[in-house]
Amino acid sequence: MTSGPTTDPRAAAPGTATPPRRRNTELALLGFAVLITLVAQAIVDLTVTGSLTTELATFGLWITALWTVAHLVVRRWAPYADPLLLPAVALLVGLGLSFIHRLDLAAQQAGSTASREDAPVQLVWATLGLVLFVGVLLVLRDHRLLSRFAYTLALVGLVLLAIPAVLPSSLSEVNGAKIWIRVAGFSIQPGEFAKICLTVFFAAYLVDKRDVLALASRRVMGLELPRGRDLGPVLVAWMLSILVLVFERDLGSSLLLFGIFVVMLYVATERASWLLIGLGLFAGGALVAYQLFGHVQQRVDSWLDPFAYYDGSGFQVAQALFGLGTGGLFGAGLGGGRPDQVPVAKSDFIAAAVGEELGLFGLVAVIIVYLVLVERGLRTSLICRDAFGKLLAAGLSFAIAWQVFVVLGGVTGLLPLTGLTTPFLAYGGSSLVANFVLVAVLVRISDAARRPAAPSGPPKPALGDAPTEVVQT
Amino acid sequence: MTAEIVLQIFRFGFLLLLWLFIFAAFRVVRADLFGGRAGRVASVPPRAAAPGRKKTRGAAKTLVVTAGPLTGTKITLGDQPILIGRADDSTLVLTDDFASSRHARLTNRGGQWYVEDLGSTNGTYLDQQRVQGPLLVAPGQPIRIGQTALELRS
């Protein structure tokens, strides 16, 4: 450990009373989230089919058991964890399940031949995600352990990212994007896991190198510019995302990875110049990509004017916009709209379904739940005592925020469509499971951050000697 | 007719439920912001501006670092202000993660030294008290910046 925790451990908790663990708050909010999930399911059933089924009871028991287990595990193995992370996730997953169920019903009513129900599948994925959540919390007792495997994880991440690119299209391509591994009826999207591995690596790498990246600089036009050779890592990250874009035709992952890296660089060095450099590189890359690749041009065209391409590439966005417009302020009510009019509403465009049936008020509520999740993550980063944990928490929270922004931007026509999934809400096993792992890591860091300092430290320094407290403003 | 009313109740009731959840979540956030941490900060008793130590009168001549990596460093005081921070052009260059690049300034006004925080992230403390505006520094009174402590000696 050459540059491990740089923070003075004494600075952590000068208070004598142990901070509250707030596990009961978490339990109450989890109960609330489960209640909302069940109410949503019941309303959907009543509105669409006119009757409640016994499946609702099964579903209710299952989902209650799921979150009870999660809560008990956190209570036992991460007792100081942030009380809001889990309830926010529970609400998002529950709403997602309700909307997928609602779209299943719509498909059944339309008499679709391929009437495979996706909601039970998603529930199984959620269960698997929870198993991994528990596994991460049990195995990873100290998040700093991750920094030891940083380079291994980087390799794993890169391999995961590269697999779909080298696989033949028949095994890796769905709807034009080569980001899948399809084996024996299963399809997983390794990029979602690569996101977490690479964020861990970025955090560990930047903790090591941030002094060089922050201090060695020249001042040009009032801006601290880094030395040429220090641009290396950001250029590598940029190249990587370009390669993803070229070989996998995946705008979303490319944007996600580059965004995470640039923001973590900024957080690590406190230099705004990195943001500008990142933005410049992005603009350059975007321009070149637009010139070279047909699929990027198509995306941009149908973003600028979806209705001009209504019969083709703009159809999806146009339908989503119609849906959002129909929803208006208060929505059509759960089960009252026609969200199935949007192609692939379950995965890419679930936000459009939310906007149509719950309206602006509902969609904003969902966004605020994401905001709460991200805020808790960033807060964890602020109060975390070691630099690695700080950076990792900031990076993971930003990943969620960035992904939500890009997806919702795409659905509402603010940004070109990217093909990222709405975390926790959208149908898709890999995304759900990977994000469960992400939250497990956040819970682990927040447990360490909120835990009072070990009692073995100096009991209470003399008054004049007392360390100043780190106060976030 | 009744079905229509029920649907409307569902429609608005569910939105209400969603926002109640957010309200509950915000209450937790608020309790966390103003309950826990604020209480802890306030629990450090601000010592009333160091009542006259033995050497209060008499102009300070040196600034001494009493704790932190630079312990023992002395700076002779003149009329010039003293800049403290991580920036290379500071009078006292700190290597401390808790210090900002321009962290604090000591200025001489009529033979008396005032400490001023330059908008640092983690703050400057004069004798346990967070420096908000310029504060008069008495000799022997500890100024804390991150892990570094300084005091004036006459």
Q: Is B93 a residue whose pLDDT tops 80?
A: yes
Q: Is B50 a residue whose pLDDT tops 60?
A: no
Q: Do A369 and B127 touch (CB under 8 A)?
A: no
In this complex, how many residue pairs, one in chain A and one in chain B, have their CB atoms less than 8 Å apart? Answer: 117
pLDDT of residue B43: 41
* Closest CA of chain A from B57, distance in Å: 21
A46-75 residues touching B, CB cutoff 8 A: 46-47
- Taking only the tens place, the pLDDT of each residue in B77-91 is 887 888 888 887 788
pLDDT of residue A52: 85
Could you tell me the pLDDT band of residue B37, with boundaries at 50, 70 and 90?
A: very low
Q: Do A379 and B32 touch (CB under 8 A)?
A: yes
pLDDT of residue A150: 87
pLDDT of residue A472: 58
More confident residue, B100 or A320: A320
Q: Do A466 and B128 touch (CB under 8 A)?
A: yes
Domain ranges of chain A: 149-292
3-state SS string over chain A?
A: CCCCCCCCHHHCCCCCCCCCCCHHHHHHHHHHHHHHHHHHHHHHHHHHCCCCCHHHHHHHHHHHHHHHHHHHHHHHHCCCCCCCHHHHHHHHHHHHHHHHHHHHHHHHHCCCCCCCCHHHHHHHHHHHHHHHHHHHHHHCCCCCHHHHCHHHHHHHHHHHHHHHHHCCHHHHCECCECCCEEECCEEECHHHHHHHHHHHHHHHHHHHHHHHHHHCEEEECCEEEECHHHHHHHHHHHHHHHHHHHHHCCHHHHHHHHHHHHHHHHHHHCCHHHHHHHHHHHHHHHHHHHHHCHHHHHHHHHHHCHHHHCCCCCHHHHHHHHHHHHHCCCCCCCCCCCHHHCCCCCCCCHHHHHHHHHHHHHHHHHHHHHHHHHHHHHHHHHHCCCHHHHHHHHHHHHHHHHHHHHHHHHHHCCCCCCCCCCCCCCCCHHHHHHHHHHHHHHHHHHHHHHCCCCCCCCCCCCHHHCCCCCCCC
Low-confidence ranges of chain A (pLDDT < 70): 1-19, 112-115, 175-176, 184-185, 216-225, 228-229, 245, 454-473
Could you tell me the pLDDT band of residue B92, with boundaries at 50, 70 and 90?
A: confident
Q: Do B15 and A29 touch (CB under 8 A)?
A: no
pLDDT of residue B45: 45
- Of all residues in chain A, what percent carry a pLDDT higher than 90? 43
More confident residue, B35 or A336: A336
- Residues of B within 8 A of A35 (CB-CB) are 17
pLDDT of residue A455: 55
- Residues of A within 8 A of B32 (CB-CB) are 379
Of B21, B26, B127, the CB nearest to A33: B21
pLDDT of residue A190: 86
Q: Do A36 and B8 touch (CB under 8 A)?
A: no
Closest-CA residue of B relative to A366 is B18
pLDDT of residue A175: 67
Q: Do B146 and A468 touch (CB under 8 A)?
A: yes
